[in-house]
Amino acid sequence: MSEADLNVIFYTLFLLLGLPISYKYAKFTVTHTGMVLPHFFVSMMLNLCIGSIGIVGWIFFSVRISRAFTIGGIYLGAWIISISLVTLLVLLMCKRKSMIQSFHYHSSK
């Protein structure tokens, strides 16, 4: 495997890492504070920030290879971030009720 192949793999893994990090943040904060909307928004912005950092890093690496390689990586990153944000939103909306119930359970003790 070439250096470019390894960088594409690590770039994709870095972008995909934003989803579990932002989900864990939202789950932890909602179950401890009970506030849903602000923490969902912050977790989505966290996911977007991780993706943006990944794309900027990709641009710095891939410019020396070729312009097509750079643009292809940017498109790949944009699609991964978009799918990750939609997945995060759907996952958080589905788990919202259980997170709020967990907050009420812990606060009533």
77-96 tens-digit pLDDT: 999 999 999 999 999 999 88
> CB–CB of 4/65 below 8 Å?
yes
What does the pLDDT read at residue 109?
66
What does the pLDDT read at residue 83?
96
What does the pLDDT read at residue 16?
92
Please compute the mean of the pLDDT values over residues 63-86 and round it to a whole number. 92
List pLDDT tens digits, range 17-56.
999 999 999 999 998 888 888 999 999 999 999 999 999 9
Q: Is the pLDDT of residue 107 over 80?
A: no
Structure tokens at 70: 């750079």
> In total, how many domains does the chain have?
1
What does the pLDDT read at residue 73?
92
Check residue 34 and give left, alpha or beta (phi > 0: left; psi -120 to 50: alpha): left
The C-alpha atoms of residue 69 and residue 3 are separated, in whole angstroms, by 13
The number of angstroms, rounded, from the C-alpha of 102 to the middle of its chain's C-alpha atoms is 24
How far, CA to CA in Å, does 91 sit from each of 35, 65, 85? 17, 37, 10
Residue 92 sits in which domain range?
A: 3-107
